[in-house]
A and B are shown apart, each in its own frame.
Chain A
Amino acid sequence: MGAPALARPAAPPIPTAPGWPTAARGEGVPTTAADGRPHLQLAFPEQIRRLVRAVRRGLAFGIPALDAALPQGVPRGQITALDAPLGSGGTTLLLALAEATLRADEGVALVDAERSLAPQAAAHLAVLGPFWVVRPRAHENAWWCADVLLRTGAFGLVIVDRVAAPVRRVAVRLQRLAHDKDTALVIRVAQTPRRQVASGSQLPAYGAAMVLAVEPPTGGAGFIPALSGWGGAWPAARTLRVTTLKGGAPRAAEVVVGVPLPDRLRPHWAVRDRRAPQRADRRPQRKARK
Chain B
Amino acid sequence: MLRSAPTGAPSARRGNSVPAATPAAAGGTRDEDPVVAVADVRGKLRVVATGSVARARGIADGMALTEAQALAANLVALPWDDERIARAALEVTTALLAASPRVAWSGTHGRTDARTHGEGVWWIDAAGLGNEAKLAAKLVTIAAGLGFGSARAGIAGSAIAAYAATFGGTKTRQRGGTVIRPRIVPPGADARYLAPFPVTLLDLDDDLAGTLRGLGLTTLGGLAALDADEVEARFGPEGLAAHRLARGLDSRGPTAPRDDALPTVEVELGGPVATAEPLLFVLRGALASLGETLHTRGLAARELALALRLDDGSTAVRPIRPARPTSHPDALFDHCRLALETWQLPEPATGLVLSAVVTVPASGEQGDLLAPRWADPAALLAAFERIRGSEGADAVALPEKRDGHLPADQGAWVPEPRDGRVIGRCSPAAPPSGEMAVAALRILSAPVSVHVRLGRSGLAAFRHDDLWHDVAAWCGPERLAPRWWQAAAASATETAGPRDYYTARTADGTLWLLRRDDPSHEWFVEGWWD
Contacts and interface: CB of A to CB of B under 8 A. Distances in A.
Contacts of A148: 383, 386-387
B399 A257 contact: no
B530 A87 contact: yes
Contacts, number: 247
7 contacts: A44-B370, A87-B506, A89-B530, A102-B426, A118-B410, A120-B410, A234-B503
A152 interface: yes
A134 B474 CA distance: 33
Interface string B384-407: 101100111011111111110101
A92 B457 contact: no
Report the 10 A-B pairs with minimum CB-CB distance, sorted nearest first: A87-B510, A119-B411, A120-B411, A154-B375, A119-B399, A129-B426, A216-B509, A123-B401, A121-B440, A233-B475
Contact of B436 (A86, A121, A232, A256): A256
Contacts of B384: 132
Given A130-B423, A144-B390, A118 B443 contact: yes
A132 B396 contact: yes
B171 interface: no
Interface string B401-431: 1110101101111000100001111111010
Contact of A135 (B397, B507, B521, B527): B397
B473 A123 contact: no
Interface in A220-236: 220, 222-223, 232-235
Interface in A115-169: 115-126, 128-137, 141, 144-145, 148-149, 151-156
A220 B472 CA distance: 8
Given A92-B438, A117-B440, A120-B411, A103 B432 contact: yes
A62 B432 contact: yes
B370 A217 contact: no
A128 B430 contact: yes
B186 interface: no
Interface stretch (A3-11, A199-207, A259-267): A259-267
A264 B478 CA distance: 11
Given A256-B436, A259-B438, A119 B401 contact: yes
B511 A235 contact: yes
Interface string A30-62: 000000000000001011101100100000001
B529 interface: yes
Given A106-B373, A116-B443, A219-B507, 13 more contacts: A92-B437, A100-B432, A103-B430, A105-B428, A107-B375, A115-B445, A121-B411, A123-B399, A145-B387, A153-B373, A222-B473, A257-B437, A262-B410
Interface size band for A: 35 or more
B380 A87 contact: no
B395 A88 contact: no
Given A104-B372, A122-B440, A257-B438, A223 B405 contact: no
Residue among B374, B390, B506 with max Cβ neighbours from chain A (10 Å) = B390
A274 interface: no
A46 B508 contact: no
Contact of A256 (B392, B413, B437, B445): B437
A129 B425 contact: yes
Which range holds the interface residue count of chain B?
A: 35 or more
Interface of A: 44, 46-48, 50-51, 54, 62-63, 84-93, 95-96, 99-100, 102-107, 114-126, 128-137, 141, 144-145, 148-149, 151-156, 194, 216-220, 222-223, 232-235, 237-238, 255-260, 262-264, 282-287
Contacts of A155: 373
Contacts of A92: 437-440, 530
A129 B424 CA distance: 5
Given A105-B372, A131-B398, A135-B395, A259 B437 contact: no
Contacts of A284: 452, 454, 458-459, 477, 500, 502, 516
B487 interface: no
Contact of A50 (B372, B390, B400): B372
Contacts of A54: 372
B440 A105 contact: no
Nearest to A100: B432
B433 interface: yes
A167 B79 CA distance: 77
B442 A91 contact: yes
Given A103-B426, A120-B441, A238 B509 contact: yes
Contacts of A103: 426, 430, 432
A233 B454 CA distance: 20
Contacts of A89: 439, 530
